[in-house]
Structure 1
Amino acid sequence: PETVVIGGGITGMYAALDIANAGYKVHLVERTPTIGGHMLQFDKTFPTLDCAACILTPRMVDVGQHPNIDLLSYSEVEEVGGSIGNFTVKVRRKPRYVVEKDPVTGAIVCTGCGLCADACRMQKIPNEFNLGLGKRSAIYFPMPQAVPACYTVDPENCIMLTKGKCGKATLESTREAIKRIKSGEVTREEVKDEIPLCVATCGPNCIDFDMKDEIVDLNVGTIIVATGTDVIDPMLMPEYKYGVYPNVIHGLEMERLLAPNGPTQGKVIINGKEPKDIVFIQCAGSRNKQTGYEYCSRVCCMYSIKHAHLIKERIHDANLSILYQDIRAYGKAFEEFYDRIKGEGINFRRGLASEVYQKPGSDRVVVRGEDTMLGEPYELEADLVVLATGLRPADGVEKVVRLTKLSQSADKFFLEAHPKLRPVDTAVDGIFVAGCCQGPKDIPDSVAQAKAASSSSLIYLGTGKAKLEAITSEINEELCTGCRTCEALCPYGALEFDAEETIMRVNEAICKGCGCCNGACPSGAASMRHFRDRQIYAQIEALTEALAPPS
């Protein structure tokens, strides 16, 4: 028995490690070139102020080196079929154009030396890991501690892949030159004009511009969905002028400015100088009907308080204000952390900002709003405004919903089987959800759900048994005309057309007895076990018997 974990963030990593440590094979699918998720972008974590990279990267190495974990980075799930104990999953591995391991021996080929990136002609591409605050080359490493430690060629920005030529070298000349180098006919120096600069500097010969998509077919018993979260688009709040003024940023961008491996090596630099007056605006996007995100994201209050503390450590004379509507310090040691930061001279003002505008003749901005505690308006001048953007489901979640046939709640996060008693189970047996894909939460809660999902998965993997729903759909073969009306309506994909018999058949391992097919079947062939029409008629007859007039 094996498991697929979709998502390589902190949640997916811990779920994979627990199952792998129990002795079962795990396929960990991550769509980006490295595992680690958003936590890898953080400077420190609240309320303990642990270095995020220091506590996360050892676990990343554990995942990368575990013999029971098949790490499929830079990959996406394309198809999901079957049912509990027998899921079929098709994964598309996108080409890195850099050979990570020898296909025969399994030995590491790319050493991550970085010479190719230094030599690359394209050096001014916005760095996604730094949220566009820095630049990278067309062949890149997301960050120094990335796992797997293999470079990736950006197919949209590499001129060899987009134009078929880099300098004097073409794809054809590069192929021929590499063959001659490997055979020992020539040295790199002798054919340097026939190959791009990245290939010329690569000692292990691991750059391959002919790599193609690879399809991996997996057969697994259970699936854990841990696709994580992304930040709400600040552009949905035009009154805050994000994207208009360069000194209005969001919380994750502040994390990158504070991080030692960020674009400014941990220095807070805006418009080429150190800001002195900094304003944080809470609930940017969340708890807002106009943006469509009415829920509380749970982490924004605490990460802004953390940011304020970290900035105060770096800029001792900075004036910091946090504009809030409610401070929600609900977690373990959160209230104590909040009280500690209040004592550092940071100004907390109740009342969100109504607008941000630029001061005439200056690069400073003015934050205008109303103090709801004092009942008076305010205007604050600032060198930097930080929007505490909330969390939303990750990009691409609709595709995963469609493939797994899971449901979404009103907030578009994955819907659990029961919010209290079955928080990681879903309506589809054998598929579990964990972490922020189920709803906004902080790191400890995400890890807790990862362990819950892995434990639930191990029950099936260990016993090899699963309880099936007793009340399922049933097809009367004599009445079924094979019109396939029910097939399109089934939300679980439990109905399959038998082409030989030209009738519908029910996969009882998937069917949940919702009754859609029963209500839609024009011939009356679909019925519910233990809930047939004649049973309902009998109940109606018994209930109305006493109402019948005496004969």
Structure 2
Amino acid sequence: ASACPVEVPSEYDFGIGKRKAIYVPYPQAVPLAACIDPQACIGCARCAEACPADAVRLEQEPQDIKLNVGAIIVATGWQPFDATRKEEYGFGRYRDVITTLQMERMLNASGPTKGEVVAPSSGKIAGSIAFLQCVGSRDQTVGNPYCSRICCMASLKNAQLVKEKYPDTDVTIYYIDIRACGEGYEEFYIRAQKLGINFVRSRVSGIQEGEDGRLSLLFEDTLTGEIKRAKHDLAVLSVGLEPDSNAEVLGNLLGLSRRPDRFFEIAHPKMRPVEAHIDGVFIAGCASGPKEIPISIAQGSAAAAKAVKLLHRGVLELEPTSAYVDPEKCIECKLCVDICPKKAISAKSPAYVDEAACKGCGSCAAACPVDAIDMRFFSDQQIMAQVQAATEVKREFPLIVAFLCNWCSYGAADLAGTSRIQYPTNARNIRVMCSARVDPSFVLEALRRGADGVLIAGCRIGECHYRDGNYQALQRVNVLKGVLEKVGLDPGRVKIVWCAASEGEIYAQDLREFIAELKEMGPVGTELKKRKDGEHPEPSARSEEESRKP
């Protein structure tokens, strides 16, 4: 690197330091080897001439490497919010406006300023420093309403380091809320106050550079309601955490879903905090959202342990309830590819189901417009046979055919029975793996054969075992209600409810309410008879309300 004549801004120093075109990315790099920046290299070959080991290969080309793996750990980390998006703070225009990460490198003895906290415009020690919190976090205007979790403590740490090194320096932290909620964090906050660091509850509205070269901050003190100005030599923007720029590409490659904040979604925030919805894929650290270093370390250890456990078994246990495609029926519409929550279906000719990845929710089978997909268990034929058996004899009114999700509502119905919870016997329960498995043809067949109503019960919204099966079921039911209304049947004859496996009483209450609603409507076909006789019955108020649900 010493032989290289080219210097460019260092990414490791976040632009406030320089590096050569050939460089070691950072002191702890693994492997500890130099690399060449092709954008900066001028091809002079001085590095190759200076290398005693003849290790520099200027003609080396990029390589694609294929690996067969049994598990994947996604630990893509984060990237800092681009402070230039907050134009009112002047980052990129005013040299003395820097970010927290640049301050970190300043404070480091091996950093570009050798540990001295200076104003970049003058190179002199900063006598007054302002820390601005929540830059790019808790901010709807930039699309980041979430808290980045580490910013408060990072500023408290840097402010204390400055105060300990320069006791006479004026240090002020402009904050919305100080969120010191980790172990020992509150004590750390109190220590900062005792060191004489000033805390002003506000959000700075703008920064301007005065004629004297100092920075002027305009802000409202939200504790007093006063609009104030303050001058500082250096302003430090506490930038938030955003997903890595390559996260979207990787997510599409692995079939991972992302949350509204663009971080990767985990299978369950409590029970499966490091697992993706795709088996064999684990997520650790800030790939799944902003978090502190101790939590990232714990998640990394957990993900590694789960990966080792998976690999140590040597075999995979597959669900026998997987889907399969009838190649003679498939029209290659790719609807199944888009709808599969596990990304187990490939858009080949015809569509292909990876049975190792399929978990048997049945959503694809219910969505296929030509019935080209079926399940090895809980098949269309099996479910239709149960519908026919349930409606063969009608001994009570109203007769209800109930499709219950295997993971939640079926357990709730079972719990209601074992707990001696009293509820009517009008329902004929049919177990399905997921509420999304309920094909509209099952519902129509039940009504055609004389069922007075059809109940679909799934997991609570947001708690689906297959991630979003209940959303898909809700969408199909809303469409189906419109079809029923057009043919003259009350759309209220189809009802969808949600309950957890532990909520037997809620299931029983939902069933009682549905029975009461069906008794008001009368036996199935009553609407058609009234229409034939010249009457125009209005749909039930409850069904109208449900049809407006998203």
TM-score normalised by structure 1 residue count: 0.68
SS in 2 for 1:220: coil
Q: Does 1:451 align with 2:301?
A: yes
For 2:330, the aligned partner's letter is C
CA distance in 1, matches of 2:37, 2:351: 46
SS in 2 for 1:455: helix
Partner of 1:370: 220
SS in 2 for 1:330: coil
1:190-205 to 2 correspondences below 5 Å? 196-205=45-54
Aligned residues of 2:267 and 2:277 also touching (Cα < 8 A)? yes
Aligned residues of 2:450 and 2:524 also touching (Cα < 8 A)? no
CA distance in 1, matches of 2:171, 2:55: 49
Partner of 2:32: 149
Partner of 1:260: 109
For 1:129, the aligned partner's letter is Y
Q: Does 1:508 align with 2:355?
A: yes
Q: Does 1:351 align with 2:213?
A: no
Q: Does 1:247 align with 2:96?
A: yes
> Which structure's CA Rg is the greater one?
2
Offset, 1:523: 1.9
For 2:309, the aligned partner's letter is I
For 1:507, the aligned partner's letter is D
Offset, 1:354: 1.1
Stretch deviating more after TM superposition (375-384 or 302-311): 375-384
| Pairwise CA RMSD | 2.3
Offset, 1:204: 1.0
Q: Which of 193, 199, 208 is equivalent to 2:57? A: 208
Distance change >3 Å, CA 418–CA 542, structure 1 → 2: farther
Aligned residues of 1:298 and 1:441 also touching (Cα < 8 A)? yes
Partner of 1:284: 135
Offset, 1:241: 1.0
CA distance in 2, matches of 1:494, 1:145: 39
The higher relative CO (CA closer than 8 Å, separation ≥ 6) is in 1
Q: Does 1:132 align with 2:35?
A: no
CA distance in 1, matches of 2:46, 2:328: 71
Q: Does 1:442 align with 2:292?
A: yes
Q: Does 1:530 align with 2:378?
A: yes
CA distance in 2, matches of 1:542, 1:384: 78
SS in 2 for 1:215: coil
What whole-Å deviation, never above 9, does each CA across 1:277-304 have from its counterpart, x for those lacking one? 1111111110010010000000000000
Offset, 1:342: 0.8
Q: Does 1:544 align with 2:452?
A: yes
Aligned residues of 1:475 and 1:504 also touching (Cα < 8 A)? yes
SS in 2 for 1:352: coil
What whole-Å deviation, never above 9, does each CA across 1:336-375 have from its counterpart, x for those lacking one? 111111100011111111111122x211011111111122
CA distance in 1, matches of 2:138, 2:334: 43
CA distance in 1, matches of 2:314, 2:181: 40
Q: Does 1:230 align with 2:79?
A: yes
CA distance in 2, matches of 1:386, 1:154: 29
Partner of 2:232: 382
Distance change >3 Å, CA 539–CA 302, structure 1 → 2: farther
Q: Does 1:273 align with 2:150?
A: no
Aligned residues of 2:107 and 2:117 also touching (Cα < 8 A)? yes
Partner of 1:428: 278
Offset, 1:482: 5.2
SS in 2 for 1:353: coil
TM-score normalised by structure 2 residue count: 0.68
Distance change >3 Å, CA 509–CA 314, structure 1 → 2: same
CA distance in 1, matches of 2:379, 2:258: 28
Distance change >3 Å, CA 498–CA 128, structure 1 → 2: closer
Distance change >3 Å, CA 159–CA 332, structure 1 → 2: same
CA distance in 2, matches of 1:254, 1:298: 18
SS in 2 for 1:322: strand
CA distance in 1, matches of 2:105, 2:79: 15
For 2:370, the aligned partner's letter is S
Partner of 1:337: 188
Offset, 1:539: 5.1
For 1:314, the aligned partner's letter is K
Distance change >3 Å, CA 397–CA 548, structure 1 → 2: closer
Distance change >3 Å, CA 448–CA 144, structure 1 → 2: closer
CA distance in 1, matches of 2:130, 2:309: 49
Offset, 1:493: 3.7
Q: Which of 434, 454, 475 is equivalent to 2:325? A: 475
**Structure with higher strand content:** 1
CA distance in 1, matches of 2:124, 2:93: 19
Offset, 1:394: 1.0
SS in 1 for 2:452: helix
Gaps of 5+ in 1: 1-116, 161-165, 167-195
CA distance in 2, matches of 1:149, 1:455: 26
SS in 2 for 1:388: strand
Distance change >3 Å, CA 371–CA 470, structure 1 → 2: farther
SS in 2 for 1:159: coil
Aligned residues of 1:277 and 1:382 also touching (Cα < 8 A)? yes
CA distance in 1, matches of 2:88, 2:2: 41
CA distance in 2, matches of 1:199, 1:479: 62
Percentage identity across paired residues of the two chains: 41
CA distance in 2, matches of 1:549, 1:307: 74
Offset, 1:516: 5.3
Q: Which of 517, 520, 533 is equivalent to 2:364? A: 517
Distance change >3 Å, CA 197–CA 445, structure 1 → 2: same
What whole-Å deviation, never above 9, does each CA across 1:138-159 have from its counterpart, x for those lacking one? 1112234433121111111111
Offset, 1:470: 5.3
1:19-418 to 2 correspondences below 5 Å? 117-122=1-6, 124-160=7-43, 166=44, 196-270=45-119, 271=121, 272-359=123-210, 361-418=211-268
Aligned residues of 1:241 and 1:357 also touching (Cα < 8 A)? yes
CA distance in 2, matches of 1:148, 1:253: 25
Offset, 1:548: 4.1
Distance change >3 Å, CA 395–CA 480, structure 1 → 2: closer
For 2:264, the aligned partner's letter is F
Aligned residues: 396
Aligned residues of 1:267 and 1:314 also touching (Cα < 8 A)? no
CA distance in 2, matches of 1:318, 1:462: 57
For 1:231, the aligned partner's letter is P
For 1:547, the aligned partner's letter is P
CA distance in 2, matches of 1:416, 1:488: 19
Aligned residues of 1:425 and 1:431 also touching (Cα < 8 A)? yes
For 1:138, the aligned partner's letter is A
